[in-house]
Every structure is written in C-alpha cells, then in structure tokens.
Structure 1
C-alpha cells in the first residue's frame, strides 16, 4: 500500500510537468512528450537498457539483464543501432554500436488503473537478420490508438547469429536478445500503463519470422499473448540455417579475420578481440553472386543445452508439442519478389547473367551449388518456359522470388497452425502500392512494380528517413488508418474485425479449412481462398518440405 501511495505522490503533481517521469525496477527515467499524426499527445521513453552491452567477453554469448542505474536516466534520445551495413546501398560504411540492446516505449498515459491497462504491441524489426533497427519505426500512426508501442534492437549478422554448431557458440543470440527484451517488457510495462497479459509481438520479414519463432521457444512461452507475422514465418526458406553449413561458415569468417579455426574455443576468443566493423565488413566473403547468398548467418536449431532458444526443428515442435497455443495473424504482399528484382534491375548486366547462368546462380542463392542443377531447370521451365529472362519477363522473375522466398513458407505455416493449434490464425494478402514503395528504395525509382516486400510498413510507421519527400495519396491515408485499425484491434481483442464499422464493413474471419481463407487488403477489402494454388503447389509438391528443400531433387 505504501508503494502505491508513493507512486501517486510522485506522478500526479499539481500541474502538468514539462516532461514525463517514471520509476521502474532499474531506476528513474525522464522521457519526453510527443504527438501522434492526429495531434494526440503521448509519452516517450527512449534508449532504456534491457541487457548489458554484449561486448568483449560477452560477445557471442547470450544476453545478461541490464544493471540498475543511479540517479535519473535521460530517456529522450533514440539509441544507436547494432553494428550493420546496408547491402542494398553501395559505398556505405558500417554503422552502429555493440552497446545497442535498448527498448523504446511510447505510451498514451502513464497513470492507469490496473483494471484498465493498455494493450502492448512489441515491434521486431526486419532486415534479413543482417541489418535494421527498432529506432527507425516511429509511433506517429499507431499511437493514434489506445495502445503502447515498444521497439527495440537485437544483435544481427554474425554478432547475433553466428553458430559454431556446438556448445561453444550454439547460436541464436539475436533471438535470445529478443526473448530477454520481451521478458523485460512483461516485467516492466505495467509501470508505463501497459497490460503484461496483453502483449502482441509483430514484425516484418525477419521480424515477422522472429515473432513466429517465439511460439516455438521455451524462453518466450508465457511472455506474450499473440503475434502478427508480416511476410515472414519460421517456415520460410531463408529463416533457418542448414545445420551442416553453420560450423563451416563460422570457420570461414574466422580465417578471413586472421583467427585460427582449429579449435572452436580459441577461434571464438580470437574473434572477440576483432573490431565489430571488421567482422561486418568480412561478411562480403560469403557473397558469390551479386549479394547472394543474402543471409550468411541465420537462426539455427541449436545443440541441446540449458538456455537453448530452439533445440528442435519447428516442424517437429509444431507436430509433437511445444508450440504456443496463441492467436496469430500472418500474410504476404502481392509482389514480394520485387525487393529482389528491383535491386537486380539497377544493373542490367545482372539480369543478363541470370538468364545465361540461371542454374549456377540458383545453386548459389539456395546454397546448394551444382547439386541444384536439376531443380533449377524445373524452376526455369515452370516460370519462363522457353523464354529468356529480360525486361519482358521481369514479372515472371518477381513471381519466382515471391513464391519461394515468401508465399510457400507463409502458407505452410498457416496450414500447420490450422492443424496443430486450438487458436485462430488470420491470413491476409496485401496488395496496395503507394508512392512510398520499398522498390524505390532498393531499385529503379519509377517502375510500377506493384505491392513490394515491406510496402505495408509505411502505412504503419512514418519512416521519414527513407521517404523524405514522401507524398501520401488520399488512398494511402485511408489504407494507413485501415491497417492500424486492424492491427490494433487484434492486439486489443484478439480479433482484427470484432464488428462491422463504416470504415471496415468486411469481417476478417480466421482460417477454417484447407482452402486457407484469407483477407484481400488493397483498394478495398474482400475475402477469398486458395491463394495462387498452382504456383504454391509446384514448390510444395516438387521441391520443398517445410522450410527445407527436399533431399532428392
């Protein structure tokens, strides 16, 4: 009772403060006031440490909870990103700092009755487990609603996902960062007015896959209540490493850094002495064609050990127990593969090379080498027939990348959730392109590519630094309002469309059958089923099992 009394004395002064202040377990935080797109005021607390800096002896190790601080901590400045380099932009340097494990909290109101706490939305950024940062995703749109938004950083690239294939560095340290961040939110969010029993994870691409992976991990069970996976799941082909390759990759990186790979312990100790920027720069040794393979260091099924994030394959977990029984939203964008094709199309020579050396290049992309030749021939015939790969068949190429990178994995995940969970799964197909398209960030600016990978993000977040001269059309604004309504409804109620409204008259029903019913989100909303069945069947029947290629091709 005394604790509650003190809380009231501290936080309800006679007149409004010039800045919000709060005390949590680690200490006192001074934040700042901000305003949402509609002018609504909210409080922001930025750069709160959830883990100790993963530097020196703590590099390549699981995270350790952050220490408390003395006095008052300034929480008005966004923290640095974790060390990274944007592969889509040539000539850029490594940016970021290893001391990067921070959370950012945006809350409508600090002083909430325990019976009326806000639902919490924890965003996990994407970027292929290689680049990205939580700090770029601002609260301006989502904080129009009565929710709390949390963003955070986690280790990426080799610093977050290197594995030696044994217990020296089992792997998934980036996921362990995420799990600790979610635990921090669960333990502290009530002080910010948030409901620890209503925590929804959501993320895009690698962030969407991350959100889904938490359904499979004992480290995260009980810490969240639902998730939204945008264009990424635990069953996408890029989301899980081939265990037979991880130790070789660790050794290859170590050798390039001048460290002996004869003994894993000695090798890792040596790599702990290397500057993080040098480790990131050396990632280029894995690129055999253009920027492929795109993700050299991925999540992995770890060796059995205490503290493992993932010690069994997700397919085994979902079929045999251990999969969190929680509601889920997932879906894809209409032309996901544009993110690849737009980047390739900046250099016409790359398209010519792909046409002339298709089998070899596909072996590189799939990390299968010459053994992939027969499969590559079947893929080319299915998508191109006897045609060349050139400007007239670029959308065939878009379809190919869309299917194997995104559509097949997401549909596999939806089907498995339907069969092995007692909780609903809501499936969507997003097909709106605005002037703020990611195809214009990574590729040629004015091509009408359609709804690219990540094109839903500018509707949920402002992303000013990517779209400095952005022009939102009236349709963009309506779509943004619609997306934030669907996403926050799900976080609040576990249902994106609890009842028809003048703005959203179509009810989004959960998947009910093997037809895998979905919601089309474009200029309007409508329900449909059996998304691109022939294209998806080609991959599922002939080439893939879960998120791995079949052994015999």
Structure 2
C-alpha cells in the first residue's frame, strides 16, 4: 500500500492540494489527473480487503478495516496485480498475493453530492490471468464522459478458485473478492460522487461468467441494480466432485497431503505457478484447442463452482436477479482459433482433416451432424476457395455459436421467463486498429469482430501505440462515434437499468412466437436496433442432448495417475458431467419452449 509520508505532507502542502482527493472512513485518498485533455481524475490501488497472504491464503477475503498511516493514501500509481497463472491480457508491473485493491475514476468536478452513475468492471482471462491495470481498462474516457468507473482485482487460478474440503479450503475465493469489492462500492462510492443506487456490474469473457454468477445470487440487487455480460460462455459451473479432484491433484503436484493446508499455504508463488504447469489433470483443461473440451464445462479448471454456500444454486438454472444486457461478438471463436494456429505457416497448412479432428475431439459421435450443419463448402465460398482459410473460419464459427452466441441467448431466455428484463446485442464491427499488442495489424481483417473486440469501444480507448509492432493507430471517426454511442448506452444502463438514450432506443429481448429471431442491438458501423438470428441455437440444443445421451455413463474425472488424462473417452467425445447434463437439458427445454410461445 502506498502511503504519503508525513514529511511530504508537511513540506509540500501546495503539492498535496494539487492532488485530487477524497476522504473516506480509512482516511484521505490522493489521486492523479488524467491526461490527453480528459477532464477526469483517478485513484489507483485503494485497498478493500486485508492482504490474503500467509494464513489468509485460500481463505475468504477479510474486509479492510484499518486506517491509512498518517491518515493519507497515495493513490497515484497502480498497486500490485494478482499472481498470474496464464498469459492473456496481463498488466505490466509487480505481481503479488497482496493484490486486493480497486481503481476508481471520476469526472474532475465530481463531488459527494453528484450522484453519478457507476460502472464496475470485472476483467477476463479464464480466471487464470488479467488485472485492473491492463492498458485497455483505463477509465479516463468513461469518467470524462460523466460516469464513475471502478475496477476490482480478484484472486486468480488456485489462489482464487481452488477448493479442497479435506484441507479446509472451500473455493470461490475470487467470487467472494468481487462481493467484498461490491460491498466497498456501496459503502464508499458516494464520497467519490457516485450513486450506490445507480450501479451496473460489467464483465467480459471469464469476467462475464463471474458477473453472471454474482448476478444470480440473492444479495445481487442490494449490491448493483443492473449487469452487462459481454461474451459469456456456457454459464453452467463446475460440479463439486470435479473441483475436489482438481484440488487434490493440484495438492499432490505441490507435494502436499490433501489434508495439509499449512503445507499449501507455505509454498512460494513460484511453486504455485509451476504446479499449474506440471499438474497433468489440470493441464487437460488449459491446453490446445483440439481436445480442449469446448463443449465440456467440467474440464478440470480453476473456476467458480456450486459450493452450496457462496453459490448455492447453479447460475444457469437460477437465472439473473437484475436487468441485464447479454452480448457476443460476430467472430468470437477466431481468437481461440488463431491462438492455436498462430503462424502463417500453421494456418496455410490447415486441411479438411484438421476440421474433422477438431469436431471429433470436442463432440465425438455428434461431429458428423455438426460438419453437415457447418460444411466447409459454406466457408470456402467466402474465402475464394481456400480450404485452409475455410477451416479457420469454420472452427471459429462453431466456437462462436456453441459457446458464446447461444449461451447469451439461453441466458436471456432464462431471464425473461423469470420476469427479469434483458437485452441482447451482436458486435459486428471490423476494427481499423489492432487492439492487442499480440495481434498483428496485418491480420486484423481475419480477426474481425473477435473475442475482446468490443472492449476498446465500451471504454473509449481506440488509440493504440504498440512499439513491439512499430505501429500507431488512432481509429476512424466512424469508430469514435460508435464508441461514444456504446459508452452512452452502458452509462444509461447504470443510470436507469435500461440501455436507451434520447438518440438510441434499444428494444428489450423477447422470445418471439415460433421462431428464434429476436429484437436486439447490432453494433456495426453504428448502433442499429434490429433482429438477431438465433436459429443455430435450436441446432446446438439438439447437439447437446445427443452428446449427453451418448455420454450418460461418463460421470467421473480421470485420475491424475492416468497415462493420458485428457478428459476424453476413447471414442473421442468430451466427458459430460451431471451438472453439465442438467444444464444442457434445461437449455433444450428453454429453446424448445421458446419455439412454441
């Protein structure tokens, strides 16, 4: 924690007065001013929990109840990022277990009586990587546009999601971190000019699953009034049996007894990271695209689960408790696909056999009907007859529809059946600029509206300078206009729990009679109300039912001593566990029911 020294406070009073400052129960927080002409200020590295270190490792977070030393906190620079167990969207700087901090951005003229709408951000990264100080998540533009913006760090990987009851570790620590951060917002955000009654909780990718999970909890309406779920994958969580076996396997990889919490708490963070890499059972859930288990949400992984206490019911069946926007990007699957085939040579070498292998590795005996529904010929016509590109786009489309598009649709159907308002969008815009430093500008047309593509637009962060690529890109005026529209709609969701402005009216989601075309918002070259075709979701409901039937007896995770613990039976079909089967059956019911309204 960065505290202002008494010497600085006494010697340079004029300097201190130049800092934007806010006083809360713990003391006075001194922040910084946004640059590039933005009329906004920030406060970084504000603690909301005690450091989860030593005997607090693997424990639920404890509220920060202390006072800042000398009554002041220097919040002009980022705090540490949580320990990383992956490499996606990792912020620079220090990594530490002492990471339960949040960032706040406000308009420069905000006061405690402003009662501004509050947008809260939960980052993605498979719950294995990420952090609030990643460059895309800068909140200066959001605050400059008139909202309060808050981003919350939460523990990742085993530190955030490991459960092992035999050792007294009960899991969902990362979910509890978010709940404690949300509680801090309710207590303190009015001092920054925010209205605790005008809060929208937003997450992307794994962050979207975490937001969805939190939004289904009974206490959700008391913590935020609406939610935005960007690019959610299947919202059915892990079963307890999978979580316990994953925890036991991980403990053995650390050379600890499955009952020895002190041993697990004594390991260095480097030990924890190395064990993730070496654990054979866990690695089946973190590996390559083929056999990854696109269908299988019970692949061994550190992820939220239904623990009966923090998460008492499966979110997929309970449904959200607050009005929510659900959305997906037109080419979600391209990010995963190009991550697997990450060189020009690898893409050029793709054949029809690779497509078949991908389908069999993930859907087993259902592969043939998927290949019939998504034939390569459909994609070859759009790629000038290139088989390799057709394979790339076919795999991407399968992932997009099965994981993201239909998950959003199913979640929206579930909401409306419980009389909770929902809205849905498709982001289709192909950006001028690369938005990730690992994304070559030369490949931008292939990525298209890939996973994460909407993030720069909802943050108002379209200008990028990537020295590693020797490029600077500022975005077109059309893109800045689109960003302004999306930011205003996201702010409206915080303000009124309805995503409409004076200029743009977003039609509410509804299940249409005898069909899967539903009203929604399409973010292309502009924000356009329209109809979104979810007919593929009926097909995927049938696929899930078919695979469930053929795998009804596959109910156990392979032991970590197996020679090849791939989570895949000998017939190549991904294992489906009871919770996933229950979710698929529920999904099929919702899809069929929506056809007969």
TM-score scaled by length of structure 1: 0.83
* SS state at 2:44 partner: strand
Which of 229, 234, 238 aligns to 1:237? It is: 234
Q: Deviations over 1:335-383 (max 9, x none)?
A: 100111121221455896896576776676x6xxxxx521344334432
Q: Deviations over 1:50-71 (max 9, x none)?
A: 0111111111111001132221
The separation in 1 between residues aligned to 2:167 and 2:311, in whole angstroms, is: 13
The separation in 2 between residues aligned to 1:389 and 1:133, in whole angstroms, is: 38
Residues 210, 304 of structure 2: 8 Å contact kept: no
Match of 1:513 in 2: 511
Q: Which has the higher helix share?
A: 2
Match of 1:157 in 2: 157
* SS state at 2:223 partner: coil
Q: CA deviation at 1:538?
A: 1.4
The separation in 1 between residues aligned to 2:490 and 2:400, in whole angstroms, is: 23
Match of 1:9 in 2: none
Q: CA deviation at 1:444?
A: 8.2
* SS state at 1:244 partner: helix
Match of 1:328 in 2: 324
Alpha carbons of structure 1 residues 496 and 317: separation in structure 2 relative to 1, 3 Å:
closer
Alpha carbons of structure 1 residues 216 and 81: separation in structure 2 relative to 1, 3 Å:
same
Q: CA deviation at 1:84?
A: 0.7
Residues 117, 148 of structure 2: 8 Å contact kept: yes
- The answer to whether 1:258 aligns with 2:258 is no
Alpha carbons of structure 1 residues 344 and 453: separation in structure 2 relative to 1, 3 Å:
same
Please identify, of 541-550 and 175-184, the stretch whose mean Cα deviation from structure 2 is larger. 541-550
Alpha carbons of structure 1 residues 165 and 448: separation in structure 2 relative to 1, 3 Å:
farther
Residues 117, 198 of structure 2: 8 Å contact kept: yes
The separation in 2 between residues aligned to 1:547 and 1:522, in whole angstroms, is: 36
* SS state at 2:200 partner: strand
* SS state at 2:423 partner: strand
Q: Structure 1: which 5+ runs fail to align?
A: 1-12, 367-371, 501-505
TM-score scaled by length of structure 2: 0.77
CA RMSD of aligned residues (A): 3.4
The separation in 2 between residues aligned to 1:444 and 1:253, in whole angstroms, is: 39
Alpha carbons of structure 1 residues 350 and 445: separation in structure 2 relative to 1, 3 Å:
closer
Alpha carbons of structure 1 residues 389 and 279: separation in structure 2 relative to 1, 3 Å:
farther
Alpha carbons of structure 1 residues 112 and 132: separation in structure 2 relative to 1, 3 Å:
same
Match of 2:529 in 1: 527
Match of 1:435 in 2: 432
Count of aligned pairs between the two proteins: 508
> Aligned runs of 1:398-547 on 2, under 5 Å?
398-421=396-419, 423-437=420-434, 441=438, 445-449=442-446, 450-461=448-459, 462=461, 467=466, 469-500=472-503, 506-514=504-512, 515-533=517-535, 535-543=536-544
Q: CA deviation at 1:274?
A: 1.1
- The answer to whether 1:34 aligns with 2:34 is yes
Match of 2:593 in 1: none
Q: CA deviation at 1:464?
A: 7.2
Q: Deviations over 1:110-137 (max 9, x none)?
A: 66364x4111111111111111111221
* SS state at 1:529 partner: strand
The separation in 1 between residues aligned to 2:141 and 2:56, in whole angstroms, is: 37
Q: CA deviation at 1:148?
A: 0.5
Alpha carbons of structure 1 residues 379 and 482: separation in structure 2 relative to 1, 3 Å:
same
- The answer to whether 1:279 aligns with 2:280 is no
Alpha carbons of structure 1 residues 167 and 363: separation in structure 2 relative to 1, 3 Å:
farther
Residues 126, 208 of structure 1: 8 Å contact kept: yes
